[in-house]
Amino acid sequence: MAFIAFTKVIDFTTLTAEQRRELKSILGSREKQLKKAIRDVEIALSRLERSGSKPRKRKTGKGRR
> Is 8 exposed, middle or buried, given 0-12, 13-18 or 19+ CB atoms closer than 10 A?
exposed
For residue 24, being part of any structural domain is answered with: yes
Tell me if the pTM is above 0.85. no
37: containing domain: 14-50
For residue 2, being part of any structural domain is answered with: no
For residue 35, being part of any structural domain is answered with: yes
Which H helix or E strand runs over 52? Answer: none
Backbone phi, then psi, for 10, in 5-degree steps?
-105, 130
For the chain, the domain total comes to: 1
pLDDT tens string 23-52: 889 889 999 999 999 999 999 998 888 776
For residue 60, being part of any structural domain is answered with: no
For residue 9, being part of any structural domain is answered with: no
pLDDT of residue 65: 56
Confidence of residue 1 (pLDDT cuts 50, 70, 90): very low
Residues of the chain with pLDDT > 70: what percent?
Answer: 71
For residue 61, being part of any structural domain is answered with: no
